């Protein structure tokens, strides 16, 4: 015997999969319920939020060699701005946008630096936020924590990481982070790596009007609290310790400015299995907001 009844067919739901949902970063088509883009691994939540709010968020990149302090800087920046309510404040859009702040502050609170950003794009932290300022319209921004090793791999072998090329080509401005301690110690690789990053950006677009030559670039010396002279005059510090970078930005960029940033007021070290590891003894952010604020001011004029 068979039981008689009515069974509803759900095949109509397959129609939703026939309409591709474009990724906000690379433009590749995806299913409507995909978590990450199948082409570049960027969060599809970025596209869904932009579509639902009918806005086009601007993209800002923080780039630099591995170990330059990108994760610490971005995590501290978002934490400071998310707690301010006066001149400038930040509101995260989406739970995924809080992970970087949480990851960074949890590590610093335990007198540790955050772990190195993995090379796999699907494991990167992305921040989609709204920045509110007095006498200005709110700014919608997207800022990812890109891996330094992946950045340099893409520079040396273009299209190795499509998400990096797609993202940087669409960025409105960039923060280039440089390790001041390594530069002061005479590490020429710091100068070479930064020169390669700047050169890569300038070659992404040949358009004289919209290319990187006319986009703002903040050159930020990190860990400046360990270099006494860096805070006094970051531009002079750059001329003394990264002369190749000076020539690059002077000849290729119209909008650039040098900054010095410090997050850890005192640094110690402890012995680990693979050698000694630096640890922050206390957290004293200095100059963290200024490069970001300058970048937004330059974008206001566009």
The 10 Å Cβ neighbour count of residue 279 is 16
pTM over 0.85: yes
Digit-coded pLDDT (tens) for 217-232: 999 999 998 887 899 9
For residues 260 and 237, the answer to whether their CB atoms sit within 8 Å is: yes
Q: What is the pLDDT of residue 211?
A: 86
pLDDT at 206 over 80: no
Residue 198 three-state SS: helix
57-300: what CATH class? alpha beta
Digit-coded pLDDT (tens) for 86-116: 789 999 998 999 999 999 999 999 989 999 9
Q: What is the pLDDT of residue 5?
A: 62
114 secondary structure, DSSP code? P
> Residue range 246-256: average pLDDT?
91
Residue 184 three-state SS: helix
In terms of DSSP bridges, do strands 139-144 and 58-63 run parallel, antiparallel, or are they unpaired? parallel
pLDDT at 292 over 90: yes
d(CA 50, CA 36): 15
The boundaries of every CATH 3.40.50.300 domain in the chain are 57-300
How far is the CA of 70 from the CAs of 109, 120, 230, 288, in angstroms? Answer: 18, 16, 18, 12
Place of tokens 């960027």: 42
- Per cent of the chain over pLDDT 90 is 65
Digit-coded pLDDT (tens) for 17-56: 677 899 999 999 998 889 999 988 999 999 988 888 777 8
pLDDT at 277 over 90: no
Structure tokens at 211: 């290319």
**Angle formed at CA 144 by CA 141 and CA 145, multiple of 5 degrees:** 145
């Amino acid at each position: 015997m068979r039981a008689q009844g009515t069974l509803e067919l759900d095949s109509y739901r397959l129609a939703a999969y026939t309409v591709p949902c474009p990724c906000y970063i690379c433009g590749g088509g995806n299913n409507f319920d995909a978590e990450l883009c199948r082409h570049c691994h960027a969060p599809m939540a970025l596209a869904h939020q932009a579509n639902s709010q009918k806005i086009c968020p601007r993209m800002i990149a923080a780039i630099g060699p591995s170990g330059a302090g990108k994760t610490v800087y971005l995590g501290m920046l978002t934490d400071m701005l998310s707690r301010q309510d006066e001149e400038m404040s930040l509101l995260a859009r989406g739970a995924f946008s809080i992970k970087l702040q949480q990851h960074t502050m949890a590590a610093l609170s335990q007198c540790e630096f955050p772990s190195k950003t993995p090379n796999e794009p699907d494991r990167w932290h992305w921040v989609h936020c709204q920045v509110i300022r007095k006498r200005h319209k709110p700014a919608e921004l997207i800022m990812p924590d890109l891996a330094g090793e992946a950045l340099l791999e893409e520079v040396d072998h273009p299209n190795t990481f499509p998400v990096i090329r797609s993202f940087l080509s669409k960025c409105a401005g960039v923060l280039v982070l440089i390790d001041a301690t390594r530069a002061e110690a005479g590490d020429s690789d710091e100068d070479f790596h930064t020169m390669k990053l700047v050169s890569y950006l300038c070659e992404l677009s040949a358009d004289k009007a919209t290319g990187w030559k006319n986009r703002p670039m903040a050159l930020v010396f990190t860990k400046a609290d360990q270099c006494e002279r860096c805070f006094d005059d970051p531009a002079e510090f750059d001329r003394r310790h990264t002369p190749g970078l000076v020539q690059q930005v002077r000849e290729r960029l119209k909008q650039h400015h040098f900054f010095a940033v410090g997050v850890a007021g005192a640094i110690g070290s402890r012995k680990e299995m693979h050698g000694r590891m630096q640890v922050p003894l206390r957290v004293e952010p200095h100059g963290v907001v200024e490069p970001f604020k300058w970048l937004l001011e330059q974008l206001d004029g566009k």
